[in-house]
Chain A
Amino acid sequence: MPGSRGFDVKRYSVFAIAREALRWHRGWERAWATPEPKPEYDVVIVGGGGHGLATAYYLGKNHGITNVAVVEKGWLGGGNTGRNTTIIRSNYLQDPSAAIYEKARSLYETMSQDLNMNVMFSPRGVMMLAQTEHEVRGYKRTEMANALQGVKTEFIGPERVKELCPIIHIEGPRYPVLGALWQARGGTARHDAVAWGYARACSAMGMHILQNTEVTGITRDASGVTGIETSRGRIATRKLGLVVAGHSGQLAEMAGFRLPIESLALQALVSEPIKPCMDVVVMANTVHGYMSQSDKGEMVIGGGTDGFNNFTQRGSFHHIEETVRALIETFPMLSRLKMLRQWGGIVDMTGDRSPIISTTPVPGIFVDCGWGTGGFKAIPGSGWAMAELMAKGQPGPLAEAFGLSRFREGRFIDESVAAGVAH
């Protein structure tokens, strides 16, 4: 584990499993500490989702800043990080997106070793189906852009699609499969483990993970932020990171500024578990649905967001119906499956559908938000970039293009071509 000044964390290893097996697994210990809040920290991060925890981790690992607290109103990963369908890919169109998502994807490849926690990263390959002529042209363009960006993707024909995923019905009546953008090194990971792995590593560095601690106010003076009010009392800090996804607007309001963000519900569902039938991730953006199979055998399914502002973590049934209807056309075998669970998360949508990693009008306050429907895949890259921004007060190369000023200056990062659907 990086650093040894913090909570004493025992290494996970095959030997640890063997040792515990011999003593009825009674020796496993807590993965991170649950301390009382200190009156003051050098840096406070609000939000114990993947992005907040990764920011804390890279503040310690890359910048040596460890007097840090992560303040979470519920439990770690109880927001979108524990509610998402875990698709990881980096085949975006615009250069700034490709850079940060590819950084993130490459960090996922070594995350288990880095954090000493098995995050089950599974680079099983992600294919985005082209089901209209327009999409074929769009994805061929993305393939070219990716080649220039150094992101390996390939436009494949329908036969190859069928070979990689035999359960797809290529000659669908409405939208036949005309090809796909294939990223062989994309895939999935275990979402909870990502949050837990970062939390454990942060705790080992001496950082404080404060769960069940809701931020209710932000205090400032003429020179900038001075601290936060929480359900467990006041905590002073001169550097505050707001990493709260759907609640970004609420936290910004506490600090006295507004964000170009609206909060919408995004839903997902899983089927009953069945035998292995697909070992890739498939996204069908025209018909609004995507699917993968979990290690337990469930088909993990998602679609587009609901349309209206919503904070209830509940979506509308007709969106589920729309998603399932679309997928049944492309995967007819699904029609007899029972769906087991359905849930929603509140996603933070920006005006150009790209994220924000930025300074704010209040000195000392930084925001990392706007990941919307697709930020699980970005967690390590975003944490890396946000930590650099908070440590130096200036964005580094990864964060530069994602500043708030782009909305005033018209420098949008328009990714709607690459991501017509949630992912």
Chain B
Amino acid sequence: MLMLTCPYCGIKADETELTPGGEAHLTRFGPEASDEDFESYLFQRKNPKGVHFERWRHAYGCGKWFLAARDTATLEVFGTYPAQSKAPPKRLLTAIRRKRPGWEGWE
């Protein structure tokens, strides 16, 4: 079973306490954006087979959104961090690189 540590309450929560929210760090495009940007914000997803940055909500806990790095091919969890982060923390990226030497990076 998937376990993620909520960065707010520090609880190691199992999947039944959490709600997945899809790809993290999407740039939000609004009314003035081009059709391409708006489409990609709404629908285009990286959907990698490997390292994925994603949103989760501690639905049956503190109720807050947070972010997680996880491998979609092995289900290994690399770490979690607060939803306010514009980018994954450096520490986490270093840890992922150590485990996945060939990894291209998150952007």
**B85 contacts A by Cβ under 8 Å:** no
Indicate if B35 sits at the interface (CB-CB under 8 A). Answer: yes
Assess whether B42 is interfacial by the CB under 8 Å rule.
yes
Instruction: Assess whether A309 is interfacial by the CB under 8 Å rule.
Output: yes
Q: How far is the CA of A250 from the CA of B72 in the complex (A)?
A: 13
B41 CB → nearest A CB, Å: 11
- Residue A308 at the chain B interface, CB threshold 8 Å: yes
A261 near B: Cβ within 8 Å? yes
What does the 1/0 interface line of B15-55 toward A look like (CB < 8 Å)?
11001101100000000000110011011111111001010
Q: Contact: B75 with A312, CB < 8 Å?
A: yes
Task: Scan residues 58-85 of chain B and give those whose CB is less than 8 A from a CB of chain A.
Answer: 70, 72-75
Q: Contact at A309–B52, with CB atoms within 8 Å?
A: yes
Choice from A262, A312, A350 contacting B22 with Cβ under 8 Å: A262
Number of interface residues of B (CB under 8 A): 27
Residues of chain A lying within 8 A (CB to CB) of residue B36: 408
Q: Once the chains are docked, how many angstroms separate the CA of A312 from the CA of B71?
A: 10
Which of A250, A259, A309, A317 is B44 in contact with, Cβ under 8 Å?
A259
B15's partner among A247, A259, A318, A407 (CB-CB below 8 A) is: A318
A contact set with B: CB distance below 8 Å: 247, 249-250, 258-263, 307-312, 314, 316-318, 350-351, 407-409
Alpha-carbon distance A224/B36, docked complex (angstroms)? 22
A182 to B48, CA, bound (A): 39
Point out the residues of chain A lying under 8 angstroms from B45, CB to CB: 249, 258, 260-262
**Cβ of A316: which chain B residues have Cβ within 8 Å of it?**
1-2, 15
Residue of A nearest to B39 (CB): A408
Q: Report yes or no: A310 in contact with B75, Cβ–Cβ below 8 A.
A: yes
Which residues in A have their C-beta under 8 angstroms from that of B46?
A: 249, 258
* Cα(A350)–Cα(B75), bound, Å: 22
- Residues of chain A with a CB closer than 8 A to B75's CB: 310, 312, 314
Instruction: Output the least CB separation between B18 and chain A (Å).
Output: 9
- Please report which residues of chain B, range 82-99, place their CB below 8 angstroms from some CB of chain A when the two chains form the complex: none
- Could you say which of B2, B39, B47, B52 contacts A407, with CB atoms under 8 Å apart? B39
Complex CA distance for A308 and B47, rounded to whole angstroms: 10
> What's the least CB distance linking A80 to chain B, in Å?
16
* Number of A-B pairs, beta carbon distance below 8 Å: 65
Q: Provide the residues of chain B in CB contact with A312, threshold 8 Å.
A: 72-75
Using CB atoms, name the residue of chain A closest to B14.
A318
Give me 12 other A-B pairs in contact (C-beta within 8 A), A262-B22, A351-B43 excluded. Answer: A247-B49, A258-B44, A260-B43, A262-B23, A309-B72, A311-B49, A311-B72, A311-B73, A312-B75, A318-B16, A351-B42, A407-B39
Q: Among B2, B20, B47, point to the contact of A263 (Cβ < 8 A).
A: B47
A411 to B75, CA, bound (A): 35
B residues near A310, Cβ cutoff 8 Å: 72, 75
C-alpha gap A48/B46 in the complex (Å): 24
* 19 A-B pairs (CB sep. < 8 Å): A249-B49, A259-B47, A260-B39, A260-B44, A261-B47, A263-B47, A308-B2, A309-B22, A309-B23, A309-B54, A310-B75, A311-B72, A312-B72, A312-B74, A318-B16, A351-B43, A407-B43, A408-B35, A409-B35
Measured CA separation A259–B45 after assembly (Å) = 7
Instruction: Give the 5 A-B residue pairs with the shortest CB-CB distance, closest first.
Output: A260-B43, A308-B20, A351-B43, A249-B47, A307-B20
| B1 and A407 contact, CB distance less than 8 A | no
- Give Cα distance in the complex from A190 to B16, angstroms: 34
Query: Which chain A positions have C-beta within 8 A of B35?
Result: 408-409
Q: Which residues on B sit within 8 Å (CB–CB) of A317?
A: 1
CB distance from B39 to the nearest CB of A (A): 4
CA distance A308 to B75 in the complex (A): 10
Give the Cβ gap from A2 to chain B, nearest Cβ, in Å. 37
Measured CA separation A316–B75 after assembly (Å): 11
Inside 8 A of B49's CB, which chain A residues have their CB?
247, 249-250, 263, 311
A-contacting residues, B1-20, CB 8 Å: 1-2, 15-16, 19-20
Question: Nearest Cβ in chain A — how far from B60, in angstroms?
Answer: 12
A317 to B2, CA, bound (A): 10
CA gap between A230 and B53 in the complex, in Å? 29
- The answer for the CA separation of A247 and B72 in the assembled complex, in Å, is 12
In the assembled complex, the Cα of A98 lies from the Cα of B101 at a distance in Å of 48
Nearest residue (CB) in B for A348 is B47
Q: Which of B16, B19, B44, B74 has the most CB of A within 10 A?
A: B44
Which residue of B is nearest A407, CB measured?
A: B43
